[in-house]
Amino acid sequence: MSDRSPFEEMMVRWQEMARSMNPSLETFSPRALEAMWPTMPREWMEMVFGNAWNKEGLDAKTRLLLTLAGLTMQGAQADAQIRLTVRHLAEAGATRQEIVEAIGMMSVFAGLPAMTRAMQLAQETLEASADEGNEET
């Protein structure tokens, strides 16, 4: 009998299985994969997500703010998606204040823990963008 919890035992077995199938999976980092995902240029986002197809519809920035609000509602299930959306919002011209307000409004609907986690992720992402010199907001 093991001294580990069932969850710890399951994780050990999954790691052993991954190592046997592909040794490189042992050092796989989802954060590293996320960092390789490119940020779309503003013009491309406007064409794909904006009002290029529906001239009187929402622009890309507004659509991304709505996406961020929805992701915030999911709580800690969407860390990578929140970081990616915040990067795209900065590229689409959203200000730090607009991003904070979109997340903050969700405290009423998603609760304070979900809002706090999304704020933390947004802050980290915006600081990383500023460090890289990519933030214009």
Q: Please give the pLDDT value at position 48.
A: 73
Dihedral angle, C-alpha 102, 104, 86, 27, nearest 10 °: -150
List CB contacts of 131: < 8 A, sequence separation 6 or more.
none
Q: Please give the pLDDT value at position 10.
A: 84
Question: Which class in CATH covers the domain with range 37-132?
Answer: mainly alpha
State if pTM tops 0.75: no
Place of tokens 């199938």: 21
Say if residue 136's pLDDT is above 60: no
pLDDT tens digits, residue range 10-49?
Answer: 878 888 887 888 877 767 776 777 777 777 787 877 777 7
pLDDT tens digits, residue range 46-94?
Answer: 777 766 777 788 888 999 999 999 999 998 788 999 999 999 999 999 9
Closest CA to 78 of 43, 41, 125: 125
What is the residue extent of each domain of the chain? Answer: 1-28, 37-132
pLDDT tier for residue 1 given thresholds of 50, 70 and 90: low
